[in-house]
Amino acid sequence: MKILLPIQIIICTLAISGLAGCFSESQEANPQKRIASSSPLDLFMAGALAKDVATVDCTLSDGTVTSCYEITVSGTPTNYQVGPFCPRTTSATEDEVGIWLDGENLYDVTGQFILDLPTIYNDDDWMLHDSEGRVRVTETKEAFEAAARPDVAEEYKNYCVEGRMEWLDGGKPITTTVQIPVSPVAKRVAIPAQAPLGVTFNGVRIDAAAPVDAILGAYTIAAFDDCGGHVNPFEGYHMHAATGCGALGGATKGEAPPFAIAMDGFLIHSTIEGGDLDACNGHTTDEYGYHYHARSAELNGVVTCYMGAIVPSSRSGPPGGGRPGGRPPHDAGPPSGGDNSAAPARHDHS
């Protein structure tokens, strides 16, 4: 059962003129400052943080010297159980399995989905099951590590790849530490998103778009659970899509509740239809100030850019792959995740 906490609204101070390139005329016509009514730290669920949050000096991507929260999330969701992921047989139903998303469509990874793969991807080389209807799944740590990497071992092509938390180093979740501005610094020009995109209030790292083209290129399905997350050996459990599992309480009409904080300090709310969103899937409302909305899960990637300055990473990963057309390429296997980001994100086994 999901634990839903009462929503606590954060209204960040914005310089609306700095966002003029992204907002509509109606939004630009109301250049009012918004004062924080609470700290985003209050929104984290019990158990979501692996250690106390520190406030540290930081320099943002635009050169601004300011203060940042140094947040370490636990690496495991506090309000739901991780999984399930892959089906075991071609008769498996929706309640036994997770999901797959490829940039265009969202699928339940049922037994029928496994049978339909040659049709879905227009390639008869897909064959994730044997003659008796058993689906090939990474059932050991060794198989998982051989399949969840860029150069997929040949024997694990045509497999459904799933990881388990107990297979991580020491059998423990991998924590992630990020630095996020205490007060968002709005920018006129959008900044391309890089992993991690942010952290959720239930303790999970949000990664960039999954490299779907490479995953499919190795004839693998790296299944997600129904909450849009999965496990790899390097980042542990992390999410590539938002399906509402960690949202906090209710919201006003036409809005959706928040579930995460982005790397620029603005909140990420659940998906909505319409809403006059900008290029980064954000907008300003009287109730919540400026905030993002998660993109639809099938699109692969919670957000694609920021409208605020971030603490720069030492490197950014390649963009996630979309659904390939026709036969997948065979010169690339599934990378470990959206990106193994260096500073400011740190991964620790705790």
Give all strands (DSSP E) within 44-117, no chain letters: 54-59, 65-73, 99-101, 106-108
Alpha helices, DSSP H, located in 271-315: none
Show Cβ contacts of residue 9 under 8 Å, excluding neighbours closer than 6 positions: 37, 38, 287, 288
Half-sphere exposure of 145 (CA within 13 A, CB side): 10
Residue by residue, pLDDT tens for the chain (350 residues) are 333 333 333 333 333 333 333 333 323 322 223 323 478 999 999 999 999 999 999 999 999 999 999 999 999 999 999 999 999 999 999 999 999 999 999 999 999 999 999 999 999 999 999 999 999 999 999 999 999 988 899 999 999 999 999 999 999 999 999 999 999 999 999 999 999 999 999 999 999 999 999 999 999 999 999 999 999 999 999 999 999 998 887 788 889 999 999 999 999 999 998 778 999 999 999 889 999 999 999 999 999 999 999 999 743 443 444 443 443 433 333 343 333 333 344 444 43
**Eight-state DSSP code of residue 5:** P
- What per-residue confidence (pLDDT) applies to 317? 41
- What per-residue confidence (pLDDT) applies to 17? 32
- What per-residue confidence (pLDDT) applies to 43? 95
d(CA 338, CA 70): 22
State phi, psi for 292 to the nearest 5 degrees.
-95, 160
Contact 263, 242 (CB under 8 A): no
